[in-house]
Amino acid sequence: MTHRIAIASDHAAIELKTVLVEWLASQGHNVDDLGPHSSDSVDYPDYGYKLAEHIAEGEAVFGVALCGSGIGISMAVNRHRACRCALVSDNLSARLSREHNDANVIAMGARLIGVETAKDCLAAFLETPFGGGRHQHRVDKLTHPQSAKEHA
Amino acid sequence: MTHRIAIASDHAAIELKTVLVEWLASQGHNVDDLGPHSSDSVDYPDYGYKLAEHIAEGEAVFGVALCGSGIGISMAVNRHRACRCALVSDNLSARLSREHNDANVIAMGARLIGVETAKDCLAAFLETPFGGGRHQHRVDKLTHPQSAKEHA
């Protein structure tokens, strides 16, 4: 199954982004590369928010968020309630993020993860369905924080 | 240096939470255990939001957020702009989250990380200062998403 997938990074993750854009395209996915498109220093929140809004507007089903450690951009993407961004560095976490959390954005750290492990995580992320069931209302509380507070 | 540290989890991470509460106290920290206090099934967003509000209100300087994978509760904590929550499973990521992102909450996955590695990550998190400099205005953009959008 192929998807429309958006990808964004900061300057530290430009090379990994290029590799993953090509790999995703080779798998038949439609890829929106939201930048950056040079190695000039940028701020990860700008690209995290750009990706989050792209997802929120329905322009892509899934997102890939990259920075040096993956930490900063994952914080930024998760500011948006339309996004559930999982920072992962292993296959199992990538699968669990889909199965339990219905993650729609995967974050990885370009300076910490190898290229093949990154592809392995991304493949696992894309092929794992959400489990639903008891996980659904927890995911709903991520989408509607206010309702969670009222019912906690 | 000791701190006031809040900790929260879901049912899957109760045992790790107990171990870390005791370990933090043994290091001289003041620990606010925000629950849960039984192994009954709970929803990670409820406890993530509880922790985030505790931090936002200045009740604790740092937070520790635990669930099965660490993914769900890290998403919940990062909904709150007062929190910068880093999901980590290794010492280097824990250090980078402080140095580059001024993370004030560390998330870990109780079913994925060993107890000694969790202590090692938490120790690294607590002893690493924020680097400031070029990292400061990126962190500011996490605190004020709207201003980032206006200036992106």
CB of B149 less than 8 A from some CB of A: yes
Q: B137–A43: do the CB atoms touch at under 8 Å?
A: yes
> For A55-78, what is each residue's pLDDT tens digit?
999 999 999 999 999 999 999 999
The complex scores an ipTM of 0.96
Phi, psi values for residue A39, rounded to 5°: -95, 15
pLDDT at B149 over 80: no
Closest CA to A69 of B86, B113, B70: B86
Q: CA B80, CA B72: separation in Å to the nearest integer?
A: 14
CB contacts < 8 Å between A and B, how many?
A: 129
- Residue B60 burial by Cβ neighbours in a 10 Å radius (0-12, 13-18, 19+): buried
Best residue in B43, B53, B111 to probe A by mutation, most A CBs within 10 Å? B43
- Amino acid identity of residue A113, one-letter, is I
Q: CA B104, CA B59: separation in Å to the nearest integer?
A: 13
The confidence band for B108, taking pLDDT boundaries of 50, 70 and 90, is: very high
Q: A93–B101: do the CB atoms touch at under 8 Å?
A: no
CB of A125 less than 8 A from some CB of B: no
Q: CA A58, CA A97: separation in Å to the nearest integer?
A: 20
Residues 12-51 of A with CB under 8 A from B: 41, 43-46, 49-50
Q: CA B15, CA B105: separation in Å to the nearest integer?
A: 19
Pick the CATH number of A4-151 from 1.10.10.10, 3.40.50.300, 3.40.1400.10, 2.120.10.80: 3.40.1400.10
Q: Which residue in B has a C-alpha nearest to residue A85's C-alpha?
A: B75
Q: Where are the domains of chain B?
A: 4-151
> For B37-80, what is each residue's pLDDT tens digit?
999 999 999 999 999 999 999 999 999 999 999 999 999 999 99
Q: CA B88, CA B113: separation in Å to the nearest integer?
A: 9
The confidence band for A145, taking pLDDT boundaries of 50, 70 and 90, is: confident
Tokens 């530290």 identify what position? A12
